[in-house]
Amino acid sequence: MARNNQYEQSSNRWRHYTVMGAGLLLFAVLVARLTQLQVLDTDFLQVEGAKRTVREHSIEAYRGMIVDRNNEPLAVSTPVKSIWVNPKQILKDGIDVSQLAPLLDMSVSQLSARIKQNKNREFIYLQRHMNPAQAKKIQALHLPGVGIEQEFKRYYPAAEVASHVVGFTNIDEQGIEGVELAYDQWLQGTPGKGRVVKDRLGRLVKDLGVMEVAEPGSELMLSIDLRLQYQAYRELKASVQQHGAKAGSLMMVDVKTGEILALVNQPAFNPNNRSELKAASVRNRSVTDIFEPGSTVKPFTIAAALMAGEIKKDSVINTHPGYLRVGSKTIRDHRDYGELDITGVLTKSSNVAVSKLSFKLGGENLWGFYQQLGLGKPVGLGLPGENGGKVAVETNHWSRLQSATLSYGYGLAVTPLQLAQAYQVLANDGIKHPLTLIRRPVEKGTQVIPKSVANDVVHMLESVVGPKGTARRAYVEGYPVAGKTGTVHKVGANGYEDERYLSLFAGIAPADDPKIVTIVVIDEPNGREYYGGEVAAPIFSRVTQASLRLMNVTPTVFEDKAIAGRLE
């Protein structure tokens, strides 16, 4: 009996020690494991945990503003919210989105269908660029799998008025037209990075702060004066409508700097509302469209002849009998003007006279001079779609007919931009400045025409706006102005068309101390009036009148009202 008790006690002790040993061993294993997790594997586990909870997100950068020369905003970015969802999570967790639908102006069935269509995706936008106040209502729902993202939306305060200059961006604020495209890299900012902790349902637990600060884009100041831009836009639009024209362009250049002060086209578009955007409205015709400039190049033929010593400013040219046979072609004036002095050649716009001058100059010399002025060559503004135009291909042999047609603006094609460049040279004492849309220090110019010749030709062009000239309607009360009209037949499938015209006017103001050059092009005026002096010249008059006053240019001409009345 005693032996049995001893055996039982020994057995119990053994079981006790075994249990204790097992417990100690288990404890040791747990301690070892905890040591491994807390000490040896802590870095690994933190990384793995962060992968599942810590998220990096992009911080949108503010796109640089575009302003006019007086700091008036032309393009600004405003903060907006964009709503996104994780369709995979919403469907997996059976999240109810019925409250979300009306806040997105969607039915529950539409929203559900959208989510189901993207069931294998973890991110889709439901609505971009939402009003922040509306986004707050969505945020207040605290729906798992639904997120709100900070973005920016581009807004254009001048709307249609500056649309062709400024252009516009896409929904991601990437430039796709105008200055927005040309200077996209300058305007774009550099996005930053932030870090947050989210739970398994995608809800924000903690904001860990900014890793990289977003760098805003740079501001861009244009040479455009919004006040002058508005005047140009208003008058061009009214005239295109009045004459039932297909299209129109107007640009104004600062004579002394080459800065473009206004550039407008019709038709135009509203970059803030693109629901009815048309390609014809977006096209910047001032830089993309080419045309034969017609009589607007005659002042340059005169300048070339004066420079070559072929004529003097008081020379006389006989245009009798009012036409000139050149091979199989007959070059005509409106009537027989007989003998004309050089000023009279421009006043009457004589094709016969400038043709005779071209015979003395030779086509190759006239061609070279046009090239120096920038006709038929890209100006290089950087705007998308700029057309280089075309001046007759250089050749060792120029026929008399080629020389003649070149002298009065046929056989070459230019843009309004190039014509403005050429007139800027004429108005600026013969000094050429590169045209620019950017406000910047004035670059050193190039002397293309001797000062005396340039001044003489500008003075001659004053007569074109006088009582006996072709541009009487270009008269500007209070200021002497100079300029040249052009009326050009458009080219169709079968050559020049009798009933389709371009009406042109190139003007300089004030003529006694030039400040601005303005080019007006009206495409296919429909009606009884189609000459440049009837259609384009009045636009120049109204725009110049308003612009010179806005620029605080003091009037220098005070005429009797009766005299002014005869010029209407």
295 catalytic, yes or no?
A: yes
The angle at the Cα of 538, spanning 336 to 241, to the nearest 5 degrees, equals: 115
Q: What residue type is 399 in one-letter code?
A: S
Helix (H, G, I), strand (E, B) or coil at 240: helix
Residue 445, token pair as written in the block: 């110019």
pLDDT in tens, 301-331: 999 999 999 999 999 999 999 999 998 899 9
Residue 263, both tokens: 């550039």
* Closest to 375 measured CA to CA, from 283, 298, 282: 298
**Rounded to an integer, what distance in angstroms lies between the CA atom of residue 31 and that of residue 51?**
27
Supply the pLDDT for residue 251: 97
Shortest CA distance to 260 belongs to which of 438, 519, 444? Answer: 438
For residue 371, the SS3 value is: helix
Strand partners, 318: 339
| Token digits of residue 185 | 């890299």
User: Degrees (nearest 5) of the Cα angle 164, 232, 544?
Assistant: 145
Alpha helices in 183-314 (DSSP H): 184-187, 226-242, 279-282, 285-288, 298-308
Distance between start and end Cα atoms, the chain = 146
HSE-up of residue 563 (Cα within 13 Å, Cβ side):
9
In this structure, what token pair is assigned to residue 142?
A: 């605290």
Residue 149 to residue 84: CA distance in whole angstroms? 8
Q: 3-state class of 497 per DSSP?
A: strand
Position 7 scores a pLDDT of 59
For residue 37, give both structure tokens.
């997790």
Q: Are 145 and 93 in contact (CB under 8 A)?
A: yes
- Contact present, 83 and 138 (Cβ < 8 Å): yes
Question: Which candidate in 82, 286, 295, 355 is catalytic?
Answer: 295
pLDDT at 564: 47
Question: Could you give all domains of the chain from N- to C-terminal order, each with its CATH number?
Answer: 56-90+114-221 (3.90.1310.10), 226-565 (3.40.710.10)
Give pLDDT, residue 495. 79
Q: Which residues of the chain have pLDDT under 70?
A: 1-17, 19, 21-23, 29, 31-59, 192-212, 392-396, 559-568
Q: For the chain, how big is the Rg over CA atoms in Å?
A: 37
What is the three-class DSSP state of 354? Answer: helix
Tens of pLDDT, residue by residue over 415-431, are: 999 999 999 999 999 99
Angle, helix 351-361 to helix 400-407, in steps of 10 degrees: 130
Tokens of 156: 């254009």
| Cα(429)–Cα(456) distance, integer angstroms | 10
Each residue's pLDDT tens digit, 174-212: 999 999 999 999 999 877 666 656 555 555 555 555 666
Integer Cα distance of 79 and 62 in angstroms: 9
- CB atoms < 10 A from the CB of 501, how many? 23
As given in the structure block, the two tokens for residue 265 are 């086209």
Q: Classify each residue of 178-204 as buried b or exposed e, where b means 16 or more C-beta atoms within 10 Å of its C-beta.
A: bbbbbbbeebbbeebebeeebeeebee
Q: How far is CA 127 from the centre of its chain?
A: 28
Q: Which residues, including other chains, have CB under 8 Å from residue 113's CB and lie 6 or more apart?
A: none
pLDDT at 110: 87
Q: How far is CA 461 from CA 218, 464, 468, 487, 493, in A?
A: 43, 5, 12, 17, 35
Average pLDDT for the chain: 87
In degrees and rounded to multiples of 5, residue 192 shows phi and psi of -100, -175
Counting residues of the chain whose pLDDT is more than 90, the rounded percentage is 58
**Spatial distance between the Cα atoms of 390 and 410, rounded to a whole number of angstroms:** 11
Beta-carbon count within 10 A of 387 CB: 17
